[in-house]
């Protein structure tokens, strides 16, 4: 029988930290590299789903995540190419997180990840 070393870690955090952790976990396991400002804007997007892109860019500059609306648009385009966000619509495009990320951002959120790390067995 294999011996498993179990690590139990319990922590109470604010919802924004919980959202960022979920995004980071997804990016880690999909090997998607993101910057701190990308993480911040994705967390804001998780709390504002299906928001119009121009309004979202203005919001990101007001929150001092990006210095201009254009730099926010550039980051959104980069995140879309990485498969992290989806743009919808024709005239007034909206943006939301990719559903595969599965971020829970409302109410009380309990994250219960069970990850088994094993050594590779060569034969």
Each residue's pLDDT tens digit, 38-56: 999 999 999 999 999 999 9
Inform me whether the pLDDT recorded for 121 exceeds 90: no
Share of the chain above pLDDT 70, in %: 96
Query: Is residue 92 classed exposed, middle or buried when 0-12, 13-18 and 19+ CB atoms within 10 A define those classes?
Result: exposed
pLDDT of residue 120: 72
Q: Report pTM.
A: 0.88
List domains and CATH numbers for the chain. 15-99 (1.10.10.10)
Q: How many Cα atoms are found within 13 Å in the side-chain-facing hemisphere of 45?
A: 32
Inform me whether the pLDDT recorded for 80 exceeds 80: yes
Cα–Cα nearest to 47, from 34, 65, 68? 65
Residue 104's pLDDT band, with cuts at 50, 70 and 90, is very high
Distance of CA 80 to the CA centre of its chain: 12
Distance of CA 54 to the CA centre of its chain: 20
Query: Is residue 117 classed exposed, middle or buried when 0-12, 13-18 and 19+ CB atoms within 10 A define those classes?
Result: exposed
Cβ neighbors of 109 (< 8 A, separation 6 or more) are 15, 18
The β-bridge partners of 96 are: 86
Inform me whether the pLDDT recorded for 1 exceeds 70: no
């Amino acid at each position: 029988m294999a011996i498993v070393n179990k690590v139990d870690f319990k922590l109470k955090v604010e919802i924004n930290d919980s959202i960022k952790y979920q995004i980071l976990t997804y990016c880690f396991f999909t090997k998607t590299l993101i910057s701190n400002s990308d993480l911040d804007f994705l967390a804001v997007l998780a709390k504002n789903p299906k928001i119009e892109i121009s309004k979202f860019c203005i919001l990101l500059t007001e929150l001092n995540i990006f210095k201009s609306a254009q730099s926010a648009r550039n980051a959104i385009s980069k995140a879309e190419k990485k498969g992290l966000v989806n743009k919808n619509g024709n005239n007034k495009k909206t943006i939301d997180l990719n559903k595969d990320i599965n971020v829970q951002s409302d109410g009380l959120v309990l994250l219960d990840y069970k990850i088994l790390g094993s050594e590779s067995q060569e034969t």
